[in-house]
Amino acid sequence: MGMVSHARDELDDSRIVAASLEDPEAFGELFRRHSPRLHAYIKRRLGLVLADDLVSETFTTAFRQRARFDGRAEFSAWLWGIASNLIAKHHRQETRMYRAFARTGVDPAEDGVADLASDRASAAALGPRLAKALASLSAQERSAVLLLAWGEMSYAEIAATLDLPLGTVKTKIHRARIKLRKTLPEEKIDG
Amino acid sequence: MDELDALRQMRTALAEQEHPDRIALRTSWRADVKQRPRRSFRIPLVSLAATAAVAAGAVVAVSLAPSESSAPGPGKNGAVPQKGNVLLVAATNAEKAPIGKYWHTRTISGEIHAVGKSAANHYKVDSRQGSEVWTDRSGKGRQGHLDLPDVPLTAQDKQKWEAAGSPNWVRIPDAEGAGRTVALQMNPPAGRQAPFRMPANDRFFGLTTEQIAELPTQPKALEKALLSLEGNWHAYTTKTETEPIRALRGQERVRALSDVAGTLLSTAPAPPKVRAAAFRMLAALPGVKAEGEATDPAGRIGTVISLPLETTMPLGLFTAPKQLGTYRRQWIINPVTGKLLAIRDLVATPPRGSRKLPTGDDGKPRSLTAENMPDRFHRPGEVAAYQVFEVTEWTNAEPPR
């Protein structure tokens, strides 16, 4: 092949997946590109320890099944879809952490994370209320609204990731937002 | 501030992105490539004829440990001792196996998928994964993922696949997604044999290499130690709590103990005396029976040990039953060398009907339907899945660089 290795930087994800069938090491580039954002998102939902585990499991699964990635979806949607399934397995654990946060005002997910006090001051009062509402969401509602707020995805990207119709995603997010809004103090509502 | 803004200000300390090298270091995600199969296998079975393997060109020849031909024991190589005591004979011979600097295993697992629309017009494909591991006595070492192509199961299946134009990709139904399909890749790109090397530092049902080395060497004491192992030992449950095997009763306990014993006798770096104890422990479990001879997926002859399981679903992974048929699990052992050669699951009753599954977090409706199952055209007694332990040995040979 005439391809030189530095060209990998310019290759799109699906080409790298294809290349990794012959050269498994190539898959490492996908880890480099996608792990930071995915890791941050899972950390935010499940805490640091589970995030390490699930990122590992997500990429392991993706690597193992890469021959079945057919390129019709974006690689990132496929990858985040795998991650979403794994996160779903921890639905109860996640709910327990939100409940504990709501009850005690101390967020177990942030256990062991350097405390950026100033950053969190404004949200501190709202955190437990939001956590209580998040605990009450269904798994789908929670994933959809958190992919929006924390994953910074568009509705279309969320639909692709969760493999749901766009309309369904909008409905789930709408419902989730209503439940979250109810927990906020009145004067905070402007939207 | 609306509720989305409020959410965005929540847990911001956790939202910080880290450098991928740091994440890779901490997660050592590569190390898990090998770890998955151990827990998540379904066992496919195949009479993966040697011809199919050779045709695929990617299977490494089975290397026999020195003990394989020289092991003391009743009878010559291949001679099968009496049925009643076959596990005890295996135990005696397992105990005589040499120990070395390195623990070396090569494992291939396969799952048999039907390709095609009808029982009359389909062929079967063995979808395979393999891994090779070298570790030292501290449990550190290297492991590689063997990138094996999927292959037609029998010579007849190969003819049908060739008649279909030898497609590189074949599509099969997604067992859980009505109407969706997934693809299997049949032709290995050249040069895929180079194993994907990564650090190995495995645990086996939570046990480290050091803990395995110190397991009791008497069967009753070993069983007692294993009864304290914590895990999720159910084929399906919505509970996330772990519990010791001791909390299980009846067949569930036999299932959990036999799963752990199977690992101690295959991929786990167990010393010979621990292996011997595992064989003896298994011999004392209710319902475990020696049957006739069989050839394992790598073409080796051994004795069949049948296990009384209610389900062959992997333990601890699912929240709902994922099978529509019933299955039997068999071990194939070589009592003369004291080795577990393979584990295979045979179809007892082929899949029938359908079952709704709880909706996943991805919101996809999920259901199982017999017409989407990989073994939809299997007949009773045919292999659905397998694991073959091509190499399990302590050796002083140096691992490949």
ipTM of this predicted complex?
0.85
User: What is the pLDDT at residue B125?
Assistant: 94
Rounded percentage of chain A residues whose pLDDT exceeds 70 = 84
Which residue would you say has higher pLDDT here, B383 or A107?
B383
User: What is the pLDDT at residue B85?
Assistant: 80
- With an 8 Å Cβ cutoff, are A93 and B240 in contact? yes
Question: In terms of C-beta density within 10 A (0-12 exposed, 13-18 middle, 19 or more buried), how is residue B208 classed?
Answer: middle
Rounded percentage of chain B residues whose pLDDT exceeds 90 = 38
- With an 8 Å Cβ cutoff, are B32 and A57 in contact? yes
Alpha carbon of B146: minimum distance to chain A alpha carbons (Å): 10
On average, the pLDDT of chain B sits at 79
Which secondary-structure segment (H or E) carries A35?
helix A27-46
Mean pLDDT of B73-80: 38
User: What is the pLDDT at residue A12?
Assistant: 86
Which of B4, B20, B183 minimises the CB distance to A36? B20
- Give chain A positions within 8 Å (CB) of B178: none
The CA distance from B50 to B62, in Å, is 11
State yes or no: pLDDT of B11 exceeds 60: yes
CA-based end-to-end distance of chain B: 59
The residues, ordered by sequence, that sit 6+ positions from A43 with a Cβ below 8 Å of its Cβ are A51, A109, B14, B15
Which residue would you say has higher pLDDT here, B72 or B245?
B245
- With an 8 Å Cβ cutoff, are B189 and A64 in contact? no
- Give chain B positions within 8 Å (CB) of A143: 361-363
- Give chain A positions within 8 Å (CB) of B23: 35-36, 39, 52, 55
Q: What tens digit of pLDDT does each residue of A151-191 get?
A: 988 888 899 899 888 889 999 999 999 999 888 876 544 43
Q: How many CB pairs under 8 A join A and B?
A: 183
Mean pLDDT of A3-27: 72
- Give the side-chain half-sphere CA count within 13 A for A150: 26
User: What is the pLDDT at residue B168?
Assistant: 85
Alpha carbon of B309: minimum distance to chain A alpha carbons (Å): 25
Q: What tens digit of pLDDT does each residue of B237-293 get?
A: 777 778 999 999 888 899 999 999 999 999 999 999 999 999 999 999 988 888 888
Q: Which of residues 5-64 of A touch B (CB under 8 A)?
A: 21-25, 31-33, 35-37, 39-41, 43-44, 47-48, 52-53, 55-57, 59-61, 63-64
User: What is the pLDDT at residue B81?
Assistant: 41
User: What is the pLDDT at residue A124?
Assistant: 57
Alpha helix ranges (H) inside A65-138 = 75-88, 91-104, 117-124, 127-136
**For residue B47, what pLDDT band results from cuts at 50, 70 and 90?**
very low
**For residue B175, what pLDDT band results from cuts at 50, 70 and 90?**
confident
Give yes or no for a contact between A188 and B45, defined as CB atoms under 8 angstroms apart.
no
**For residue B70, what pLDDT band results from cuts at 50, 70 and 90?**
very low
On average, the pLDDT of chain A sits at 82
To the nearest 10°, report the CA torsion of B60, B65, B69, B72: -150
State yes or no: pLDDT of B348 exceeds 80: yes
User: What is the pLDDT at residue B79?
Assistant: 40
User: What is the pLDDT at residue B200?
Assistant: 65
User: What is the pLDDT at residue B324?
Assistant: 85
- Range name among A83-87, A187-191, B190-194 with the lowest pLDDT average: A187-191
B146 beta partners: B130
Residue with tokens 């062959």: B312
Which of B4, B23, B129 minimises the CB distance to A64? B129
State yes or no: pLDDT of A117 exceeds 80: no
**For residue B138, what pLDDT band results from cuts at 50, 70 and 90?**
confident
| Strand duo B122-136 + B141-146: pairing | antiparallel
Mean pLDDT of A124-132: 83
Structure tokens at B379: 């007949």
User: What is the pLDDT at residue B9?
Assistant: 84
Q: What tens digit of pLDDT does each residue of B90-112 get?
A: 999 999 999 999 999 999 999 99
Q: Which of residues 68-127 of A touch B (CB under 8 A)?
A: 68, 70, 81, 84-85, 87-93, 107, 109-110, 113-116, 119-120, 122-123, 126-127
The CA distance from B123 to B129, in Å, is 20
- With an 8 Å Cβ cutoff, are B14 and A68 in contact? no
User: What is the pLDDT at residue A84?
Assistant: 94
User: What is the pLDDT at residue A113?
Assistant: 61
Which residue would you say has higher pLDDT here, B35 or B382?
B382
- With an 8 Å Cβ cutoff, are A81 and B362 in contact? yes
